[in-house]
A and B are shown apart, each in its own frame.
Chain A
Amino acid sequence: MTTNTLGKVAAVCSIVIIIGWAIYWGVQVQDTLCLLETATAEEVPECLENM
């Protein structure tokens, strides 16, 4: 593999990983916040239906 191709493949792989990581942890944090809200709320919060 040429250095130029390697650079392009590495850049694409890294960007996909970084975006995927942000989406995954974004959902996890959202779910955690929802569970925290559920623990203190008197009624079932809306976010629980989307989990």
Chain B
Amino acid sequence: MDIVFIFEWLDASWLSEFARTSAALFSMVQAVHILSMIMLCGMLILGDLRMLNVILTGVPSAIIIQNTKKWIYIALAGIILSGIYEASAIAMKLATNSFFWAKMAGLAMGIIFMLSVRSAVYSRAPEVIGANGPQSEAVEAWVVKLVAVANLLIWFSVAANGRWIGFS
């Protein structure tokens, strides 16, 4: 499916015109994009490293996962909104950039994996990892750790490909 027309539409939009003429605002939005990415990765790393029993081992994992959830959604909203603004300024360049598509694929995969597998598995983490008290039915510890590693790798790719767009 050819979706270049979306980029052509974005490139010709008032948003694109505005983004190209307001350098100061563009740099501020770029800062919001990077800070949102830092917040998202920070929250995810916190939860994943807890599940790998690396950090905050004395704190129940359910508390960490519950408290980071809201900030993950806020960061995601910040990333997507500021990302659309940034992309509008160089829409036609991005349409043919392989790292942009790799980043989008990683972002989609990361969101789906986080909302489905990661969320379901972490809520059924065993006592040895979760410190949530005895659970009648818990996922095996090695599966929880595997999910944590996979999640960290996905978001590493999103961040690295995002940075790579700037060099290509």
What range describes how many residues of B lie at the interface? 10 to 19
A residues with CB within 8 A of B: 1-3, 6-7, 9-11, 13-15, 17-18, 21, 24-25
Residues of B within 8 A of A21 (CB): 150, 153-154, 157
- In the complex, the number of residue pairs spanning A and B with C-beta atoms less than 8 Å apart equals 52
Does B139 lie within 8 Å of A3, measured CB to CB?
A: yes
Pick from A10, A18, A24, A25: contact of B120, CB under 8 Å = A10
A14/B138 contact (C-beta < 8 A), A9-B117, A21-B153 known: no
A24 surroundings in chain B (CB, below 8 A):
102, 157
User: B residues 22-36 with Cβ under 8 Å of A?
Assistant: none
Question: Min CB distance, A5 to chain B, in Å?
Answer: 10
Complex contacts, A9 vs chain B, CB 8 Å: 117
* CB <8 Å contact, A10 and B139: yes
Cβ-neighbour of B117 out of A2, A3, A13, A25 (below 8 A): A13
Known pairs A9-B117, A21-B157; A14 contacts B150 (CB<8 A): yes
A21–B154 Cα distance when bound, in Å, is 8
Q: Are B124 and A18 in contact (CB under 8 A)?
A: no
Q: Are B120 and A14 in contact (CB under 8 A)?
A: no
Sample (17) of A-B pairs whose CB atoms are under 8 Å apart:
A1-B120, A2-B137, A6-B124, A10-B117, A10-B120, A10-B121, A10-B143, A10-B146, A13-B113, A14-B149, A15-B150, A17-B109, A17-B150, A18-B150, A21-B153, A21-B157, A24-B157
Quote the shortest CB–CB distance from A4 to chain B (angstroms). 8
